[in-house]
Amino acid sequence: MTPLELCCMTVRQATVPEMVAVAADEGFDSLTLTPFMVERSGMEIDALRQLCDDAGITIGYIDGLSSPLPGTPEGVSEERSYSMAEGLGAKAVNVVHLGGHPVPFGEMTDVLGQVAQRAARRGLGILIEFLPDTGIPDLPVALDLVRAVGLDNLRVMLDTWHLARTGGGPHQLAGDAPALIGGLQVSDRRKIQDSQPYVPMSGRYLPGEGELPLIDILTPVLAVHPDLPVGVEVLNDEMKAMPAARAASRAGRALRGVLGQALPHD
């Protein structure tokens, strides 16, 4: 069975202990966390890891490191993110050029190479998430950065929402592209949203409730990485307003429905 991952922003209304509980109750294998959520919980890292272990939940990655990338606002430090990941048993840190403007490709390559080397010394992977209007604006650039750096612990976070926002799709997952994907964040989108203003942290649909070719996007990636956790990241006002347990349940059912079509059957 492909592991299922509950991305923390899907249940951002919950406390961290509640996130762990609903992830376990709804049959998820792993959960992601942001440094802010970990710090806001007030829990010591060892205690939080024990809570996860007791629930049978692993932490997939620490999400949202931006501070080492050029031109980004000061935020949680690289060292703090790595320490959290190590303490919680996470395998990777997700890096986003959030708040940064486009920069020369060579500059981004150099910085990401240094970040990946520092993470490798800690036994951690680095995932890079692309966002329009940043120094990592789309999937092709993210893939080219991974190729240029050439380190095994640097891979791309494929977010289906941002893939659609950049005009991407299954056609970009040919050749070596699936092998360079190291993380998945799945949500859905409707065509009409292409002509509407982008509002951060909102508007995402549950998998199967929009019009994205999610099956065609996921199938080539999972063919290469059958054990890669598939994360569900759905940010919208309706999901945020409901109890976390209900939001996690809806997200889990929707994700399983799509995966049932994307995965090969005996």
pTM above 0.85, yes or no: yes
CATH fourth-level superfamily of 4-262: Divalent-metal-dependent TIM barrel enzymes (3.20.20.150)
d(C-alpha 126, C-alpha 112), whole Å = 9
Helix (H) or strand (E) holding 24: helix 16-25
User: Which one, of 222, 212, 225, 228, lies nearest residue 260 by Cα?
Assistant: 222
**Per-position pLDDT tens, the chain of length 266:** 899 999 999 999 999 999 999 999 999 999 999 999 999 999 999 999 999 999 999 999 999 999 999 999 888 999 999 999 999 999 999 999 999 989 999 999 999 999 999 999 999 999 999 999 999 999 999 999 999 999 999 999 999 999 999 999 999 999 999 999 999 999 999 999 999 998 999 999 999 999 999 999 999 999 999 999 999 999 999 999 999 999 999 999 999 999 988 665 44
d(C-alpha 61, C-alpha 57), whole Å = 12
Q: Which amino acid is at 110?
A: D
User: Which one, of 58, 49, 56, lies nearest residue 5 by Cα?
Assistant: 58
Given a contact cutoff of 8 angstroms between Cβ atoms, the answer to whether 117 and 126 are in contact is no
